[in-house]
Amino acid sequence: MTNQLHTAIQVNEEIDNTNKLYEKKKITYYELLELNDTYQIQENNLQINIDEIKIQINSLESLILFGENNSLNNMDSQSMKNDYISKYTILYDDLISTKFHISNIEIEIHKLNIEFNAFEVYIDNLSKLIPRINRWGNIDNMTQFQLDCEACSNNIKFKTQISIMDFNPPKLERN
């Protein structure tokens, strides 16, 4: 999609609109960063809880296998172990869900970084367009003589630039 920006005023309006959108996206970016931090903390807390529950499950398993052979005690231990396994499953599912949310948020943050780069390049290119429009905006009102003078001037400038690029510096000889 190409925009037809014919005047410096239109270009400045486009720059202003782009800056407004950039600022709007920056707010979203910072909100996503905060949300990502919250999910990171939640992930760490879930992992701590999961690790604690694993220890509790392992200790109850050890008690069941190697503890006293009291059947009432073993039933209570097995019941507690089953409760911890249920809690573990719930926390593990929450952890997976949290990691999924973190991944999605990080993808969105990455996309916004790309958009910010695109905005900066676009604004830079629009800023470069203003002097061109100011220089060539009056071309329809120029006489043929003025057009010929401008073309000749541009030709001389172009040849000067080419000659500078084609200039071979002297080679240094070593003894």
Residue 44, domain extent: 8-136
In a domain, 79, yes or no: yes
Give mean pLDDT, residues 164-169: 68
Among the residue ranges 19-23, 43-47, 127-131, the one predicted with the least confidence is 127-131
Among the residue ranges 39-43, 105-109, 123-127, the one predicted with the least confidence is 123-127
Q: Which two tokens stand for residue 127?
A: 């800023």
Residues 126 and 146 in one domain: no
Cβ atoms of 136 and 59 within 8 Å: the answer is: no
Tell me the pTM.
Answer: 0.69
Residues 17 and 44 in one domain: yes
Other Cβ atoms closer than 10 A to 90: 11
Q: What is the DSSP letter of 7?
A: S
Other Cβ atoms closer than 10 A to 60: 21
Helices (H), the chain: 8-66, 71-136, 144-166
Tell me, what CATH number does 127's domain have?
1.10.287
In a domain, 113, yes or no: yes
In angstroms, the CA 16 to CA 143 distance is 35
- The pLDDT of residue 2 is above 50: no
In a domain, 175, yes or no: no
So what's the pLDDT on residue 155?
86
Residues 43 and 55 in one domain: yes
So what's the pLDDT on residue 172?
64
Number of compact structural domains in the chain: 2
Residues 35 and 115 in one domain: yes
In angstroms, the CA 60 to CA 65 distance is 9
In a domain, 149, yes or no: yes
How many residues are present in the chain?
A: 175
So what's the pLDDT on residue 138?
65
Mean pLDDT, all residues of the chain = 87
In angstroms, the CA 45 to CA 155 distance is 69
- The pLDDT of residue 82 is above 80: yes
- The pLDDT of residue 157 is above 80: yes
Residues 125 and 144 in one domain: no
Does residue 156 or residue 31 have the better pLDDT? 31
Angle, to 10 degrees, between the axis of helix 8-66 and the axis of helix 71-136?
170
